[in-house]
Amino acid sequence: MVGNFEVRDNPRLAWLNAPRLWWADDVALWGLAAARIELPSLYLVKDLYVVDGAAGELLLPELSIALGNVVIGRMAGLRQLDLSRLRVVNGMFLVRDTQALASFSLPRLETLEGHFNLWSNSALTHFDVPLLWSIGGWLYVSGNDSLTTLDGLRAVEFLGDQFLLNGNARLTSLEGLASLREVRFYFDVTGTALTRLGLPRLRSMDRLVMNDNHALTTLDLPELEHALSISLAGSPELRELGLPRMRYLLEFLGVWSSPLLPRCRVNGFLEQLGNTVPEVKLFGLDDASTCE
């Protein structure tokens, strides 16, 4: 048991193994040339940071509890990430800027009080967190150009903050988030290849913001009942809103640059609501088509 376990900027270190380390406050491994990092007995940490290293293998097979953050970042050669017993993260979980990591699994993670972040992992095709039902902070998935599904988060029902999706060139739907029921604050989707959102159980969010999603044809949110605002901009393939059960939109509706979306369908959507939306801005829609 130690307070802080730190190893920094050791360009000649070929292998790091601390076989008896069981408990540490902060584990900080920065700028290491080691091809393999192994902490086979580590059970509990406050914060774990493994950043700017050359390791192809990062093995923490007994780590169960992180009282703070788990951060793995700028590890270009990382191919294997073993966190197979991780159950609790009281801070955020972040994997970013890897070029070789194709997959990882957190098969026992049940509690995440902070944010879940996946940023710029160019080879990542899938991940699996099958027991996680709630994320206390935001879910931020950005720039993972090989990722095809979010099925790894299939049990998540609740986001305590925002959902942020940016890029991810091969991700065409959010069907992997089929259990999601509630998102606090913003649901922000920008510059994606999504053809639809397709969230069959989502009932509540504060603000939906969608910008420059050029393949989007419909929102497809069949159970969404209320929101504060909806803003859709730069969706040239959008043909319908796909919000059949929405009854309350309390502040704002804006739809811009969607030339295939008939204005009459938007008007029909406004008529189905149980309130008058205080501010509505519509621009660049299909004004020629008629609706039955």
Q: Sign of torsion, CA 97 5 86 117?
A: negative
Contact (Cβ atoms closer than 8 angstroms) between residue 291 and residue 264: yes
Residues paired with residue 58 on neighbouring β-strands, in sequence order? 37, 81
The tokens describing 116, both together, are 């879940």
- Mean pLDDT across the chain, nearest whole number? 96
Give residue 252's pLDDT: 98
Segment 184-191 shows an average pLDDT of: 94
| Top-level class of domain 133-292 | alpha beta
Nearest residue to 232 (alpha-carbon basis) of 249, 215, 213, 251: 213
What pLDDT, in 10s, does the model give residues 233-277?
999 999 999 999 999 999 999 999 999 999 999 999 999 999 999
Give residue 18's pLDDT: 95
Phi, psi of 126 (to 5 degrees): -160, 160
Identify the band that residue 173 occupies on the pLDDT scale cut at 50, 70 and 90: confident
Segment 126-144 shows an average pLDDT of: 97
Order of all β-strands in the sheet with 57-59 = 15-17, 36-38, 57-59, 80-82, 103-105, 126-128
Which secondary structure element, helix H or strand E, spans residue 254, and what is its range? strand 248-256
pLDDT exceeding 90 applies to what percent of the chain? 96
Question: How far is Cα 80 from Cα 66, in angstroms, rounded to an integer?
Answer: 20
Give residue 10's pLDDT: 86
**pLDDT at residue 178 above 90?**
yes
The model carries a pTM of: 0.94
**pLDDT at residue 292 above 80?**
no
Give residue 89's pLDDT: 98
- Give the burial class of 98: count Cβ atoms within 10 A of its Cβ; 0-12 exposed, 13-18 middle, 19 or more buried: buried
Give residue 281's pLDDT: 97
Segment 141-156 shows an average pLDDT of: 96
What pLDDT, in 10s, does the model give residues 70-129?
999 999 999 999 999 999 999 999 999 999 999 999 999 999 999 999 999 999 999 999
Q: At a CB cut-off of 8 Å and minimum separation 6, what does 49 contact?
A: 26, 27, 28, 29, 30, 69, 71, 73
Identify the band that residue 163 occupies on the pLDDT scale cut at 50, 70 and 90: very high
In which residue ranges of the chain is CATH 3.80.10 found?
133-292
Q: At a CB cut-off of 8 Å and minimum separation 6, what does 33 contact?
A: 10, 11, 12, 13, 14, 53, 54
Question: How far is Cα 208 from Cα 189, in angstroms, rounded to an integer?
Answer: 8
Of 2-16, 48-62, 92-106, which range is least confident?
Answer: 2-16
